[in-house]
Amino acid sequence: LSDRLSSNLLSLIEYKYHVDTRKEQDFDQMQIYFRCCGSTSFKDWSLSPRFNSNNTAFVVPDSCCKSFEHKCAQKPFGIHPSNIYYQ
């Protein structure tokens, strides 16, 4: 990704995803279509207030999952779930 696009996606994750339903849906569809997670990696979701509020689990949106299952991307902090896309 270009630096500008990457920066815009990170900003969306941090400031808009959790407050704008339309942006959330669009971002989820983008991740599903491109089989990705975050701007450059799944770790980008640690910036989101919606997904970093729990110190005991690293959580990303279900749209990051390779095979959809509700709460498929929740694992103890520091452990990468095998069912999510790395990039």
> Which class is domain 3-76?
mainly alpha
Q: Give the chain's length.
A: 87
Asked if 14 contacts 48 with a C-beta cutoff of 8 angstroms, the reply is yes
Residue 78 CB contacts under 8 Å (≥ 6 apart), including other chains: 58
Whole-number pLDDT of residue 87: 66
Query: What pLDDT tens digit does each residue of the chain (87 aa) get?
Result: 689 999 999 999 999 998 999 999 999 999 999 999 999 998 899 899 887 776 656 688 889 988 877 777 666 545 556 777 876
Asked if 66 contacts 85 with a C-beta cutoff of 8 angstroms, the reply is yes
